[in-house]
Amino acid sequence: MSLRPKLCVYWASSCGGCEIAVVNLHEKLLKVDKHFELVFCPCLMDTKKADVEAMPDASIAITLFNGAIRTEENEEMAHLLRRKSQLLVAYGACAFQGGIPALSNFHSRDDHFRTIYGENASLDNLTQVAPRTRTEVPEGTLELPVFFERVRILAQCVKVDYFMPGCPPEPHQVWNVMEGIISGRPLPPPESVIGAGTSSVCDECARTRATKLVPRFYRTFEVVPEPDKCLLEQGLVCMGIATRDGCGAPCPKANMPCTGCYGPPEGVRDQGAKMVAALGSILDLGEYKGTTPEELNAKVEALLASIPDQAGTYYKYGAAGSILGGKAQ
């Protein structure tokens, strides 16, 4: 029996990218394996839920839990792994703030089922059959987990010790955390964000910024941005000003705007609200003199209309953890 501390990497409602981020440690995985025994990782191992249930409580040293809480099974596993783990880390954007799955909170459960199973052009479902939690067949009972009305973040379900943002977390970020644990360095205060910075992506971005006002916004396929100038000032909605640093700004380096996957910077409660405030300060509304409030509002509406999905842009990774909670207003 191994005496190494036990490590778990689990996914709930997610895409699997966070597991790939662990694999992207490359040769450093050998160091992780030297110091930890990986006991539960559904994408790599055949460990069963019953095996985890049989483990003593708090016998897993660290669980990296990625994915949002979308179904009854996700919630059940969150409670189980909380009980079995000494440290539970909300690993990645979905566990941290809701991620892409939480965008579904702007619609109802019935909306999803109707669109996916009733109106989907690729299906022939004339009787509008939708998934049910229990279905009786000659061979027995088929069961599916309850599909919740709303997506929640891990911390809205169980107590979380630390948060590691990113979609997925960058490998250097994962290694900094693992190396810190391996070396025995003191951990930050509970409920801290680990492996990332405290400021914004703009502080990591090498692009030059001025005080230029923006006359309109563009989608990424509409323009080829200049490689050295601030993308936001070129009319591309770059979320860097409202996003925590630590990733190294790879998207702006590749001439693409930051989409906000690291969540809000330190001290910012709501990433979307921060971005709305930033946009309000750079809109080019022309000459104010003689402009009525109605005309001014019309200018603002016309500018913002060039952003086709504002909720999906400002809250792409953080709807469930935001002030809105992903609710359509």
Which of the listed residues 160, 193, 226 is the one where a domain comes to its end? 193
278 in a structural domain: yes
Q: Are residues 144 and 178 in the same domain?
A: no
Same domain, 262 and 214: yes
- pTM here is 0.90
Whether residue 111 is found in the same domain as residue 253: no
* SS3 assignment, position 90: strand
Same-domain status, 70 and 186: yes
* Structural domains of the chain, count: 3
Indicate if 163 and 27 belong to the same structural domain. Answer: yes
User: Whole-angstrom distance between the N-terminal and C-terminal Cα of the chain?
Assistant: 55
Containing 60, the helix (H) or strand (E) segment is strand 60-66
Best CA proximity match to 195, nearest among 269, 245, 240, 260: 245
Same domain, 67 and 26: yes
Domain with 228 in it? 201-314
Q: Are strands 192-193 and 162-164 parallel, antiparallel or unpaired?
A: parallel
> Is 131 a member of any domain?
yes
* Tens-binned pLDDT, residue by residue, of the chain (329 aa): 578 999 999 999 999 899 989 889 999 999 999 999 999 999 888 999 999 999 999 999 999 999 999 999 999 999 999 999 999 999 999 999 999 999 999 999 999 999 999 998 898 888 888 899 999 999 999 999 999 999 999 999 999 999 999 999 998 888 988 888 888 888 899 999 998 999 999 999 999 988 778 888 999 999 999 999 999 999 999 999 999 999 999 999 999 999 999 999 999 999 999 999 998 888 887 776 667 888 888 888 888 888 888 999 999 999 999 987 755 44
| Residue 206: both structure tokens together | 């090498």
Is residue 57 in some structural domain?
A: yes
Are 62 and 127 in the same domain? Answer: no
Does residue 70 lie within any of the structural domains?
yes
94 and 185: one domain? yes
205 Cβ partners below 8 Å, 6+ apart?
230, 240, 249, 252, 253
**73 shares its domain with 128:** no
Instruction: Pick the last residue of a domain from 174, 193, 212.
Output: 193
Residue 157 and residue 13 share a domain: yes
pLDDT for the residue numbered 159: 97
Say whether both 210 and 258 belong to one domain: yes
325: closest CA among 102, 72, 96, 34? Answer: 102
Tokens encoding 302: 């016309």
Cα gap 163→169, rounded to integer Å: 11
pLDDT for position 211: 76
Based on the fold, state whether residues 185 and 136 are members of the same structural domain. no
